[in-house]
Amino acid sequence: MHPMLNITIRAARKAGNVIIKSYENPASVKVDNKGENDFVTNVDKAAESLIIETIKKAYPDHTIIAKESGITKGSDDDVQWIIDPIDGATNLIKGIPHCCISIAVRLKGKTEVAVVYNPMANELFTATRGQGAQLNGYRIRVNNVKDLENTVLAIGFPYKQKQYSDSYFNVLQKLFTKCADFRRTGSAALDLSYIAAGRIDGLFEIGLKPWNIAAGELILREAGGILTDFAGGNNYMASGNVVAGSPKVVKDFITLTLNDWPDRLKC
């Protein structure tokens, strides 16, 4: 096992224990509003603190980019840990057992190690660059579907960017004539991991953040999938506009929907 993967798994499992205890005791979950439709809980902060503490013990010189506490520069900025302590925090707030810890390790701008862990289901998705993706130690692969016909697609509504609602629902309507069904789970990192495991066939979403994408991207790619922006390019980390799936699903999606997005969302 890659030494940084071992530390990443350890950090994710420690944070997972915090999340499970909070889920079992809903009264202990305290919610703050960071902005419109943007929530943070005491559980996010506690889980993130534990993840950072675990990483820093092993790699004190590395840079950390965390959802709640921001950037902690290390003396070795070539290695960056990108952390989302709870992707799907709204689900936790509502008592829905579907959320995850997402941790990625990037070396000179390329993700080398990734962990997405759903503590409620005890499902650990992992990947190391060039060595494939796994779920609880077993190799996973994307579904080898030819096009959008009969696919099940994960979606995420643009609840923080409602100015794009018309474009979004036009695309959704067009896709609905092609695919079999949609799923809205509330966790992009788990959606990407589910595509990698063949549970769903694709995803599109507007306005994701790097900590939503980084770990799931490597897991997806190591399982044979791809991730692009809405024009088929590589600007998704900056824009947060993501389409993911098998190469054929992504190509079919872009061909079908490219002209439905305003230019500012295509990259």
pLDDT tens sequence for the chain (267 residues): 688 999 999 999 999 999 999 999 988 888 887 666 667 889 999 999 999 999 999 999 999 999 999 999 989 889 999 999 999 999 999 999 999 999 999 999 999 999 999 999 999 999 999 999 999 999 999 998 889 999 999 999 988 888 999 999 999 999 999 999 999 999 999 999 999 999 999 999 999 999 999 999 999 999 999 999 999 999 999 999 999 999 999 999 999 999 998 888 877
Look at strands 133-135 and 138-139 and give their pairing. antiparallel
| 3-state secondary structure at position 187 | coil
66 close to 79: Cβ distance less than 8 angstroms: no
pLDDT for residue 170: 94
**3-state class (DSSP) for residue 30:** coil
Is the distance from CB of 87 to CB of 187 less than 8 angstroms?
A: yes
The whole-number pLDDT of residue 160 equals: 84
Helix and strand totals (H; E) in the chain: 8, 15
Q: Give the per-residue pLDDT at 226.
A: 97
The number of beta carbons lying within 10 Å of the beta carbon of residue 50 is 19
On whether the CB atoms of residues 106 and 62 are closer than 8 A, the answer is no
Sorted by where each starts, the structural domains of the chain and their CATH numbers stand as: 3-139 (3.30.540.10), 152-265 (3.40.190.80)
Q: Which helix (H) or strand (E) holds 118?
A: strand 110-118
d(C-alpha 96, C-alpha 9), whole Å = 23
pTM (predicted TM-score): 0.95
User: According to the model, what pLDDT value does residue 266 have?
Assistant: 74
